[in-house]
Structure 1
Amino acid sequence: MLGSKIAWDDTVLPFQLDASDIRGRVVRLDGVLDQILSQHAYPDEIEALVAEMALLTAMIGQTMKLRWKLSLQVRGDGPVRLIATDYYAPTKEGTPGRIRAYASYDSSRLMPRVDPFSQIGKGYFAILIDQGQGNVPYQGITPISGGSLSACAETYFAQSEQLPSRFVASFGKSQLPGEEAEWRAGGVMLQKMPKASPFVAQPENAEENRVLRADDILSEDDFEDWNRANILLDTVEDMELVGPHVQPTELLVRLFHEDKPRVFDPQPVEFGCQCSEDRVRESLSIYSAKDIAHMTTEEGVVTADCQFCGAHYVLDPETLGFKAEDKQDGDGD
C-alpha cells in the first residue's frame, strides 16, 4: 500500500479507450491539495469547492498543449464570490506541472452544512488559456449550471468546444494508521475524441442560446460507445478514486477492460506559485505617484499579499508606479 501511495500521489495519468475512441485522465491530488488548502483557513464548504476545482484544473490542464498557463475561474453572486485556479505547464519534459488555487467568499452570508455549490448563486464558469508573451489569451465562458463544478466543466466543453466530456471527482480528509489526517482527492475525466469532420450532430428545433449537453453533439454512431463508458464510470466508488489501495492503472482495468484501455506516461504535479516582487512591481507600474500615495501605509511602505501562496511583500513607494525613481541607478524624475 505504501508503495502505491508514493507512486501515484499528485499524478495525472493519461489514457485512451481504443475500442471506443475516448480519451481520459485519472488524477490523484494529495500533497498538492494539502499545500493549497493549508495556505488558508477556509470553512468546510469552501474547502470542498477548492478541492473540486483543483481536480478539474489538473485534468483539463494536462489535456491541453500549453506553453504557459491555464486558468479556471468561477464567479457568482452568492456567498461564494470567486474560485480561481492556475495550472502552469511543465517547463520541459519530465518536470511537474504546477497548480495553485484560492477562493474569495462572504463569511457573513456563508451557510454551514448547506450544499457548497448552491452558495455560488448565479454567475459563470470560465476557462482562460495564456500561451505567454506575444500570444493573445483565449477566454471561454459558460453559465453556472448543472449542480456541481464538474457539471459546469462538462457544459463548457459541450458548449464552447463541441467536445462531449464527463468529470467524476471525490475528495476529503483521510487518515492512515499512525499518521495525521491529510487531504486526498481523485478524479476521472472522459472525452469523446473528435472526428475528422467539422460537423456535429445538432438537436432538431434547438432553442437559440440553449445550453448544450454531450448528448446534443454526439452522432448516433458515437452515442452507444459514450453512453456505455459513462454507465461504467457511474459504478466507480469514492475509495477507488482517492486510493491509495487502488492504483489508477488497476482502476482503468476494473472499469473499462472491454474498451481496451491504453495508458501513457504519467505527469507529476506539484503546488507552485508564480508570484514575485518583480511581478508585483509590474502590476503597480500602471499607477501614478498620486495613486501610489493612496496605497502607502502609515509606516511609509506599500504592502501586497499573494492570495494563492500567502507571500507578503513590503515595497518602497518611491520605486513604484510609472514615474518611479530608480534608486538603484540613482536617477530622478
Structure 2
Amino acid sequence: MSQINIPSREPGQIPLDDVVVPFEVAALDVRGRAVRLGPMVDEILSRHAYPTAVSRLLGEAIVLTVLLGSSLKFEGRFILQTQTDGPVRMLVVDWRSPGQVRAYAQFDAAAVAALTAPTDGDLLGHGHLAMTIDQGADMNRYQGLVALDGGTLEEAAHEYFLRSEQIPTRVRLAVAEEYSAAAGGAQRKWRAGGLMLQFLPKSSDRMRVADLDPGDAPEGTAPHLVPQDDAWVEGQALVETIEDVELLDPALSTERLLFRLFHEHGVRVFRSAEVEAKCSCSRERVEGILKSFPAEERAEMVEDGRIAVTCEFCNTRYLFDPETVVGPEDGAEG
C-alpha cells in the first residue's frame, strides 16, 4: 500500500502582520487558525480616542471576529455584536469577504474611568453576544446568541461553540500596546493576536459532549458527564501554554509559534490570507442615505448651515450643503 508523503520544511522565520494562517494537526484531529494583527488593528483603534481598557476589549473582539469570519467558505459578512448593561454597552465588528474589517465601541466614559484595572467582565457586564452570518440578499441570515454574564470574550466564544455548533473549541486572544523609540518621543501602537483550535475527528462519537443543563432538573440530579477524547485533552493543554507575548511579538513568526506548540505531532499550515482595515462608508453612500429622509427631518439636521455626519466605524466626518442634498420627493413637490 503506497503512502502519501507530505513535503515538510522548516517553519518560516519572517513574521507577517495582518494575516490569518490556517493549520492542521492530523495526529490530534484538530484544525485551527492563527491571527497576527499589527497596522490593521492599530488603524481601527487609533481612529477613536478610546480609553485604553476599551481599546483592548475592542481589539479582542476584532481578533475573535477575524478568527471566525475568515473561516467562511463563501462571499459574505460576519458580524459580531455585544449589547450589555456594562460600561461598554456595545461592541460591533463587521467582517466582509475577502478580509475587510471595521469596528467601533459605545461606552460610558465616566463609568469606564471609575474602574481600576478593569477586567472584560467589569467592562461588559451582563447581556448577550450575537454572531451573525450574512450570505447576501438572496439568502437567509443566520444568528447565534450567547449570554454574557460577567465573563470574558474567550469564555463567551467557548460557550457559543458548545451550545450553537457543538464543536469542541478553544480560543486564545491577546491585545497590547507596543512602545518604540522615535524622534518625537515614544510611539505607541496597538498589536493583537489570537488562535482558535477545534477538535474535528472523522468519528462523530469522539466529539460527544455532555448534555447541557436544562435549567429545571430536580435538585440533586447528577450532571451528565462525557470523558473527553485524549487527543482533544492534549490539544487544549498545548493551547493553554501560549503566553500573550507569543501572540503579539513582532519578532516571532506565526509558523514558529505553531511549530513550538505542535512539532511533536507535525503541524501542516495552509495558504495564509490577508486582512485589512476597510470601512464601507463613502460620501456618495452617506449622501444617498440623507436623501432618503423627508425634507423636514433633513432640515432638523442642519447646524451652522451644514449637515454633518460622522461614521461610527471609521470616525470620518462628512459635511453637506443642505441645498445640494435633495430627495426625490423634493423634486416632485416642486
Q: TM-score when scaled to structure 2?
A: 0.83
1:153 aligns with 2:157: yes
Report the more deviating stretch, 41-50 or 236-245. Answer: 236-245
1:236 aligns with 2:231: no
- Report the equivalent of 2:317: 312
- Report the equivalent of 1:213: none
- Report the equivalent of 1:189: 196
1:10 aligns with 2:14: no
- Report the equivalent of 2:131: 127
Report the more deviating stretch, 239-248 or 81-90. Answer: 239-248
1:102 aligns with 2:104: yes
SS of 2:128's equivalent in the other structure is strand
User: Which residue of 274, 282, 287 maps to 2:280?
Assistant: 274
Output the amino acid matched with 2:136.
G
Deviation of the 1:302 alpha carbon? 2.4
SS of 2:90's equivalent in the other structure is strand
Whether contact under 8 Å (2:126, 2:150) holds in the other structure is no
- Report the equivalent of 2:259: 253
Are residues 240 and 293 of structure 1, via their aligned partners in 2, closer, same or farther at CA, if it must alter by over 3 Å?
same
Output the amino acid matched with 1:180.
Q
SS of 2:63's equivalent in the other structure is helix
Whether contact under 8 Å (1:22, 1:191) holds in the other structure is yes
Which stretches in structure 2 are left out of the alignment for 5+ residues? 1-11, 218-222
Deviation of the 1:199 alpha carbon? 11
| 1:208-265 superposed Cα distances (whole Å, 9 cap, x missing partner) | 499xxxxx99975x62211111111111122221122321111111111233211000
SS of 1:287's equivalent in the other structure is coil
- Report the equivalent of 2:220: none
- Report the equivalent of 1:303: 308
| 1:20-67 superposed Cα distances (whole Å, 9 cap, x missing partner) | 221111111110111011101111110110111111111111111241
Whether contact under 8 Å (1:292, 1:321) holds in the other structure is no
Deviation of the 1:322 alpha carbon? 6.0
Output the amino acid matched with 2:37.
L
Are residues 293 and 181 of structure 1, via their aligned partners in 2, closer, same or farther at CA, if it must alter by over 3 Å?
closer
- Report the equivalent of 1:83: 91
Whether contact under 8 Å (2:124, 2:150) holds in the other structure is no
Aligned equivalents of 2:199 and 2:144: distance in 1?
A: 20
Are residues 237 and 198 of structure 1, via their aligned partners in 2, closer, same or farther at CA, if it must alter by over 3 Å?
closer
Deviation of the 1:127 alpha carbon? 0.8
Aligned equivalents of 2:302 and 2:224: distance in 1?
A: 54
- Report the equivalent of 1:67: 75
SS of 1:323's equivalent in the other structure is helix
Are residues 29 and 261 of structure 1, via their aligned partners in 2, closer, same or farther at CA, if it must alter by over 3 Å?
same
Whether contact under 8 Å (1:28, 1:187) holds in the other structure is yes
| 1:52-101 superposed Cα distances (whole Å, 9 cap, x missing partner) | 111111111111124132111111112111111111212xxxxxx12111
Deviation of the 1:197 alpha carbon? 5.2
SS of 1:310's equivalent in the other structure is coil
Aligned equivalents of 2:216 and 2:160: distance in 1?
A: 13
Percent identity over the alignment is 36
Deviation of the 1:198 alpha carbon? 10
SS of 1:109's equivalent in the other structure is helix
User: Which residue of 17, 26, 31 maps to 1:23?
Assistant: 31
User: Which residue of 93, 113, 116 maps to 1:113?
Assistant: 116
Report the more deviating stretch, 156-165 or 169-178. Answer: 169-178
Aligned equivalents of 1:305 and 1:236: distance in 2?
A: 40
Radius of gyration: which is bigger?
Answer: 2
Aligned equivalents of 1:285 and 1:219: distance in 2?
A: 58
Deviation of the 1:201 alpha carbon? 3.3
